[in-house]
Amino acid sequence: MTSDPQSVREDLAFLRGLVDEDWRPGAWAFGAIYVSLGVTLVVHVLISWAGTAGYIPRGVPLLTTYGVLYALVSIVLTWISGRVRRESQRTQAASVKGRAGGAALVSAFVGHLVMLAVLVIVAVRQQNPVFLELAPLVLFTLQSGVWFVVHAMRRQRWQGVVGWGWLLAVLGLAPLVGTSVFGLGIAATAAVLMIAPGACMMRAARKV
């Protein structure tokens, strides 16, 4: 704050915006993205299982199935982004909390991509593909940070529970790395800690 009257008015307007801001578009977008990514993880695991079981032939058919999955995901995420952009233009305001939550989510996935590259390098150098199975655990650990940020902004207890749930899930999945049930654990975690909380965020944004 400064003694300049114009600056004081601007500061007060900013603080009032934090209280009165319309958080619904950001919450809906966060939830929609989370549901989409959770469904993607579950379907990815199912495709992997189908390939291992022989229901989808390895090679081109399996790669094509993965390609279709991620093409659909790209379309859905593009649609979500467009809807949020139109809503922001309509209200002529962007939620500070929404931007903070979005930044936390994007930062987590960027960090995951960096660690994925690290794990690929290590797996190749050590000639041990099990290192790649640590990638989901890295993603899940980073998601806990996202939910702690959301909890700090929204102060709803269930959001803090989701944050701790991610950490407990990582510890629970660690002994399953390299086993045949690891993928099932990944899918179950995505369903409980991504799809369900994301749907709750979307529902809350529609109810207000």
Instruction: List pLDDT tens digits, range 144-185.
Output: 998 998 888 877 889 999 999 999 999 999 999 988 899 999
Structurally, the chain folds into a number of domains equal to 1
CB 29 within 8 A of CB 100: no
Tally the residues of the chain. 208
The mean pLDDT value for 84-110 works out to: 70
Q: What is the pLDDT of residue 195?
A: 95
Share of the chain above pLDDT 90, in %: 42
Q: What is the pLDDT of residue 39?
A: 95
Residue 108 lies in a domain: yes
Cβ-based neighbour number of residue 202 at 10 Å: 20
The mean pLDDT value for 7-18 works out to: 52
The range of the structural domain enclosing residue 132 comes to 23-207
Confidence class for position 90, pLDDT limits 50, 70, 90: low
Residue 186 lies in a domain: yes
Residue 11 lies in a domain: no
